[in-house]
Every structure is written in C-alpha cells, then in structure tokens.
C-alpha cells in the first residue's frame, strides 16, 4: 500500500487511470490535463508498471519545468512596470504550483 494511506476508491481510480495510461490514446489525453498532484503521483508510480511510471515521471518533469518558467516570468513581470506583460499561464503559475504540490479538491479523472 505504500506510505500514503489510500481509500479503496482512490486505489480504484488510480488503477483506472493507470489502465488508460497504458494506451497511446490515454497518454495523449493525459498530456492535455494538469496532471497529478505530487501525493497522487507518488501513489500512481508505486502502483504503475515501469513504462507507465516512466511516462508519468516524464510528464511531471515537463509540467514542473513549465510551471517553474512561468513562476520566473511571473516574478519578473509582477513588478509594477511590467505587470501588463503577464500572460494567463504566468498569472496562475503560483496556483498551478500549489496544486501540483498538494492537490485540488475538485478533480476529474482523465
């Protein structure tokens, strides 16, 4: 069961996600989502076969790099002189970073 306590419902949803991610179509769909928060990513990786775990890790790295870049841009542009330069991705980078770290209440399964 790993270090994270999971309900049977969470386990079932993770298994359902992993089954979808074992397909090319499922992976394509996943790339258009915000991904998993770190606690659920960890749980999924613990339960996933190696190819799916590697896919999840690659996607997480990409999302983390994107959020990191948006946060850097956000801090630069947040200055009063550059505030008008913020784009939508940069404006909500802080929120996406928090969701990646701790999750979000209203989550849809891919």
- pLDDT value of residue 107: 53
pLDDT in tens, 58-104: 999 999 999 999 888 878 777 666 777 888 888 888 888 888 888 87
What is the per-residue burial (b if ≥16 Cβ within 10 Å, else e) of 29-40?
ebeeeebbbeeb
Split at pLDDT 50, 70, 90, the class of 25 is very high
Handedness of CA 54, 4, 106, 70 (dihedral sign): negative
At 90 the pLDDT is 84
pLDDT above 70 for 109: no
Distance of alpha carbon 1 from alpha carbon 90, whole angstroms: 37
CB neighbour list of residue 89: distance below 8 Å, 6 or more residues apart: 66, 70
Short-list 56, 21, 62, 58, CA closest to 40: 56
pTM: 0.71
For residues 30-54, average pLDDT: 95
CA distance 42 to 53: 10
The domains of the chain are located at: 8-102
C-beta separation of 4 from 97 below 8 A: no
pLDDT tens, 37-48?
999 999 999 999
For residue 54, pLDDT over 60 is answered with yes
List the structure tokens of 2: 């790993």
């Amino acid at each position: 069961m790993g270090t994270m306590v999971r309900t049977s419902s969470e386990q079932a949803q993770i298994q359902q996600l992993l089954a979808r991610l074992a397909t090319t179509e499922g992976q394509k769909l996943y790339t258009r989502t915000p991904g998993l928060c770190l606690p659920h990513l960890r749980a999924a990786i613990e339960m996933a076969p190696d190819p799916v775990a590697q896919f999840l890790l690659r996607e997480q790295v990409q999302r983390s790099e994107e959020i990191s870049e948006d946060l850097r841009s956000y801090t630069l542009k947040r200055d009063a002189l550059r505030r008008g330069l913020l784009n939508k991705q940069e404006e909500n980078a802080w929120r996406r970073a928090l969701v990646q770290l701790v999750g979000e209440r209203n989550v849809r399964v891919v």
